[in-house]
Copies of this chain bind each other. A is one copy, B any other.
Amino acid sequence: MSDWTPPTQDRVEAYFKELNNWGRWGRDDQLGTVNLVTPARQAAARALVKTGRTVSLARDIPRHPELIYHATFPSSRERADVVLDRFDIVFHGFTVTHVDALCHVGWDGELYNGRPFKDSLTAAGATWCSIDPIFERGITTRGVLLDVAAGRKEGFVTVGRPVTPKELDAVAARAGVRIEPGDVVVVRSGDETFRRANPDWVARVSPHPGLHLSCLEWFREKDIAAISWDMMDERPSGYPGFGMSTHLAIPFLGLALVDNTNPERLAVACREEGRYEFLFSAQPIRLAGATGAPAHPIAMF
């Protein structure tokens, strides 16, 4: 976006105060922006379901027998053979589709709504802002696809040209959708194509293309309930102190993040259906006290 000027460091330093949602739903709230999903918005979202066409927004968790899971030794029980498997993951990271709990990231020693990071976590999980309120409620609301990748000549967002608020607006305009409060925005930055084109790219080590830090302004302005994204944030962010990039939406806004989304099938479906809005539904598994949980979100038309 040649005509876009990134915010100054000073501007960014003001984000925490300016965009802040602490106290907005009470000082005891642990749900954050998912509060924006009202029964009325859910009813409107359900009305978007016409044919029932359903597409998965999750990635496969790959077969990796030694490290992630594997089948156990089978047992013979009379005439039956039975086999189990064991499944062991650190779901945060850049592979497994999951929803972040609001305790996942703190700021200046505090979690969303001002509780001390240190006193709110133990080896057994969180006592503040664990994933529980989110898996209890689920995230079922209107979803909107912003297919950023489709507008890039490389077919994906590149290092050095992050997604900006201006670009998100342009993509929405192109799709003919208006973002409403309480929506889940599914952002397709083209992660799958990017990784295929960059086989030597290593998560956490190589620079990450993705959303520019200033998208925090856009998240707050549009008052979205959640973002469901494939490529996530630009890293490094280019702003000293703000290395966690747009993941700072967690402590600043209490925003629900659906990381490692797979929007590929959805992009096809939206083109075929001729619309970029749908019912979005994600039910993270009930991992009590955890800092997040794997989920299998779907879009329904």
Contacts and interface: CB of A to CB of B under 8 A. Distances in A.
Interface of A: 39, 42-43, 46, 49, 52, 54, 56, 58-93, 97, 103-109, 117-118, 121-126, 135-136, 138, 140, 240-244, 247-248, 251, 281, 283-292, 294-298
A125 B70 contact: yes
Nearest to A240: B78
A79 B63 contact: no
B77 A243 contact: yes
A72 B69 contact: no
23 contacts: A56-B135, A56-B136, A58-B286, A61-B288, A63-B288, A66-B93, A70-B73, A71-B125, A71-B291, A73-B74, A73-B122, A78-B241, A81-B109, A82-B244, A84-B93, A85-B90, A85-B291, A86-B88, A88-B88, A138-B296, A285-B294, A285-B295, A285-B296
B59 A86 contact: no
B82 A105 contact: yes
Contacts of A42: 52
Nearest to A80: B244
